[in-house]
Amino acid sequence: MTESVAELARRLRGADAGGWTPEGARALVAGLGWTWQDSGAGPVIGTGRAEGDARLRPVGSIEERYVGGESYLELAVPVRPAEPDAAAQAAAFRAVREELTAALGKPSVMGVHGDLGPFYDSGPLWGTPFVRWRDRPDTLELRAAKTGPELVLQPTDPVENWFWRQGVGEEHSISGFFGSRNDASNAGLGFPGGWYAQSWETVTRALGDFLDTLPAETTALGTSLAMPVYGRLAEGGAPLLFDITCRDRLSLGCFASDAADPAALGWGTVTEYPATGELWPDDDDPRWRIDAGGPGEPKGRALAETLVATARAAGVGTPADLIVGGEATYMDGYHVTFYGLGLKTG
């Protein structure tokens, strides 16, 4: 009988990695009933599963500063191969996440790695969602990988140490977003500082990267985002400029006055984007909008250029005057910090 993903997850959570020493890792693999074969590229872990072999990641020179005696950082097991397109990958991740949530309960942590994953790895281009069942000494993560979602058993401290130490304040020092629940499993969980964009080009790049993959990531995570964006003006006040809304599709609403000429800057109305009528039934609330599409469809750079050009035309003078509303930081019971935008939250 084939082992389900939920059964595999339970076995991984109950396994003992022995401090992730060489001996502990060998005992972990043997305890799971898998095989260990040494090769020039490191150990090959045969699982006997149709999805393929597991990967055991050794500590390298880059990772040494984040560990406390571990020789290995993770055991990653592929669980659901999928076609390479964003919609198929997001659907595969979501299906596994739903199965694991039913079996293990709601994850302690959820988020998106962005283009700077743990230990400086880059994830798949379609998106980098993850969820974690945090524990001590080890944590179980469901992560998007190049060919489909994979389960990752990892020592808790190194990955959190890496995350904590990225908050150095420099542009793009950390990316993605990170959400945690008010749950006993998150006791002692730390959060790094963020960074703020110093130029409109940085804002454009960061927003573009964020919007490119957002509907695939919210689909995979089974969550929704409602992000109001305000603009502080030289003459005073900080009116609502945009509403960025995403679940399985990304929609942008613009509240800037007609003096900013939204139509000339690329905005349409419900006539051009009828799907947005489900979000904003009233033609005037907001009048201007864009339906950017579902997983794999948004053109992030072009959308970001439209947002930035509209904000500047409306009278927003600097990136520091573009503010994400605090309402965006609450997503389905998680408190979320957006690290990849470089914008203030208020």
Residuewise pLDDT in 10s, the chain (346 residues): 589 999 999 999 999 999 999 999 999 999 999 999 988 777 899 999 999 999 999 999 999 999 999 999 999 999 999 999 999 999 999 999 999 999 999 999 999 999 888 999 989 999 999 999 999 999 999 999 999 999 999 999 999 999 999 877 889 899 999 999 999 999 999 999 889 999 999 999 999 999 999 999 999 999 999 999 999 998 889 999 999 999 999 999 999 998 899 999 999 999 999 999 999 988 778 999 999 999 999 999 999 999 999 999 999 999 999 999 999 999 999 999 999 999 999 8
Q: Helix, strand, or coil here: 35?
A: strand
Quote the Cα angle for 178-294-132, to 5°: 25
Q: List Cα–Cα distances, 315 to 47, 135, 199, 259, 285, in angstroms.
A: 59, 48, 16, 10, 21
CB 226 within 8 A of CB 240: no
Locate the DSSP E strands across 145-284: 149-155, 177-180, 225-231, 240-246, 250-254
**Using one digit for the tens of pLDDT, what is the confidence trace for 301-313?**
999 999 999 999 9
Task: Supply the pLDDT for residue 148.
Answer: 97
Q: Helix, strand, or coil here: 260?
A: helix
Amino acid at 249: R
Q: pTM of the predicted model, to two decimals?
A: 0.96
CA pair distance 291, 32, nearest whole angstrom: 47
Q: Helix, strand, or coil here: 120?
A: helix
Task: Supply the pLDDT for residue 186.
Answer: 97
Instruction: Provide the edge-to-edge strand list for the sheet that holds 250-254.
Output: 288-293, 250-254, 240-246, 225-231, 322-324, 344-345
Task: Supply the pLDDT for residue 116.
Answer: 86
Task: Supply the pLDDT for residue 1.
Answer: 52
